[in-house]
Amino acid sequence: MFESAEVGSKVDKKAYAAREPALREQLLATQRRLAVAPLSVVVVVGGVEGAGKGEIVNLLLEWMDARGIETHSLWALTDEEKARPPMWRFWRILPPKGHLGIFLGSWYTQPIIDRVLGRTRQLELDVALDRMLDFERMLANENTLVVKLWLHIGEKTQKRRLEKLESDPDQSWRVTKLDWQFFKYYKRFARVSEHALRRTSTGETPWHVIEATDWRHRDLTAGTVLLEALKQRLDKIDATPPPKLEPDLPTPKTVSILRALDLSHKLEDRTADRRLLKHMGEISRHSRLLAEAERSLLLVFEGPDAGGKGGAIRRVTRAIDARLYQVVPISAPTDEELARPYLWRFWRHLPTHGRVAIFDRSWYGRVLVERIEGLCPEEDWRRAYAEINAFEQQLCEAGTIVLKFWLWISPEEQLRRFKDRQATAYKQYKITEDDWRNRKKWDAYEAAACDMIEKTSSEDAPWVPVEADDKNWARVKVLETVAGTLRKELDR
């Protein structure tokens, strides 16, 4: 792969002068198209030190309108980043629609360095790379164009560059010990990078390896690659008719995990109170151990309206010190959230080490309400299952304990509760037109929930179906599960 970037490509002064003005103008014009398009752009700039990564960023900012560009140098993690899953630092800086984000360093940096330094094995690198591809595929599907540039120079050129930088008093700060350390690994770094690039070059997000020995060639190539990628994607958007938004109303199977639930389970008040108290004590003790264990807890509550999510959540929070938890209610997204990939608004609220996040509704809205009401195109909710699984896997691997509760009631019980709410003055606010409307689609919600549980319940992030016709039973089951899971995860 890199051989073709060591062939001595050059652009002479005259050819550069002939090409540069038009390229700049086209880039600017294309950026203006981008500004009003439903698209955001991430430009990843990778390569070895001395190849001119910083220069390329300077160049793009000079050629284009810096007001629509955010630049991010991704080196040492901040402590806020360390307390969350590794990908959080990239999610938090995803540019909104109409903007470009230029990332110096990327999600590839750490896996490549770890492999070069022998901290990981080949297999681990490959697993990491496959995930990066999943991530980029998701970004592509979520209206984010990823342009990946890799600046390559040969070993001798790198040595010369590092020496030259070091001898220039204005530039020497840019060459660190680490750079020389890496230089010793040049061949190994080249081999690992080449493998990584080959494995992660897809039709949708190819790597563009740019020979960076001659700066004119490097600059023109980088600018042209970005321009072409932008134009192609914008043209595609213009040519694509808006997606059809149609409700999908699946029919429930006669035998299913939800139909198999025994909704007649009941608990006496006294038994329930005793057991709740016991589990609350356990949760209280264990939640305080999260910080030292560098773990966090994330609970998801889903289920039909009036299913008892709020009541169950209140029983959980009562057990936890208020300084340690946050309840995250999910309703309509803000415009800043709409301008970014779907999962962005959930990444924002991930708990740090030591903390508990309780989601009252969640990312599963995509495969429930959005599917059924036709709020997103079919292909979007269809691919969401895999995206969600990948998301939750990252959480678990970063030490987050994930539990997802599906509070399930019978339609008769829901009706009883709706009527009760209407009749009780201080509960009336809890019932809206939407609730009655959703109720008409009961069957579809049931079937969608079954699909969801089937496709997204995993050992690490299991769905816990809860028989919720009896509130005592439901609350005890929720707390028992939380307490038992915390015990299992933290008592080691």
Q: How far is the CB of 61 from a second copy (least distance, A)?
A: 5
**Closest C-alpha to 323, from 362, 292, 351:** 351
Q: How far is the CB of 310 from a second copy (least distance, A)?
A: 8
C-alpha 207/C-alpha 148 separation (Å) is: 5
Q: Is 22 in the site for a second copy (CB under 8 A)?
A: no
Distance of CA 280 to the CA centre of its chain: 32
- Per DSSP, 408 falls in state E
Amino acid in the structure at residue 98 = G
168 in Cβ contact with 35 (< 8 Å): no
Q: Is 491 in the site for a second copy (CB under 8 A)?
A: no
Contact track, a second copy, 118-157, x by CB under 8 A: ----------------------------------------
* Residues β-bridged to residue 301: 360, 405
Contact track, a second copy, 397-436, x by CB under 8 A: -----------------------------x--x-------
Q: Is 224 in the site for a second copy (CB under 8 A)?
A: no
Encoded tokens for 241? 């008719």
Encoded tokens for 48? 């070895």
Choices 22-30, 224-232, 236-244, 377-385; region in contact with a second copy by CB under 8 A:
22-30
Q: Is 66 in the site for a second copy (CB under 8 A)?
A: yes
Q: How far is the CB of 329 from a second copy (least distance, A)?
A: 4
* Touching a second copy, residues 339-358 (CB under 8 A): none
Contact track, a second copy, 99-118, x by CB under 8 A: ---x-x--------------
Q: Is 94 exposed, middle or buried (0-12, 13-18, 19+ CB in 10 A)?
A: buried
Q: Is 418 exposed, middle or buried (0-12, 13-18, 19+ CB in 10 A)?
A: middle
Q: How far is the CB of 314 from a second copy (least distance, A)?
A: 7
Q: Is 14 in the site for a second copy (CB under 8 A)?
A: no
C-alpha 80/C-alpha 241 separation (Å) is: 42
Q: Is 268 in the site for a second copy (CB under 8 A)?
A: no
Strands 69-73 and 40-47 come out as unpaired
Q: Which is nearer to a second copy, 43 or 384 (CB)?
A: 43
Other C-beta atoms within 10 Å of 395: how many?
22
C-alpha 148/C-alpha 127 separation (Å) is: 20
C-alpha 40/C-alpha 341 separation (Å) is: 9
Q: Which is nearer to a second copy, 65 or 480 (CB)?
A: 65
The crossing angle, in degrees rounded to 10, of helices 109-116 and 186-199 is 140
Candidate residues 12, 80, 294, 443; the one interacting with a second copy per rule CB under 8 A: 80
Candidate residues 1, 16, 68, 188; the one interacting with a second copy per rule CB under 8 A: 68
Q: Which is nearer to a second copy, 57 or 402 (CB)?
A: 57
Residues whose CB falls within 8 Å of the CB of residue 184, separated by 6 or more in sequence, listed in order: none
Q: Is 293 in the site for a second copy (CB under 8 A)?
A: no
Q: Which residues bind a second copy (CB under 8 A)?
A: 25, 28-29, 32, 54, 57-58, 60-62, 65-71, 73, 78-80, 102, 104, 170, 173, 284-285, 288, 310, 313-314, 317-318, 321-323, 325-329, 334-336, 360, 426, 429
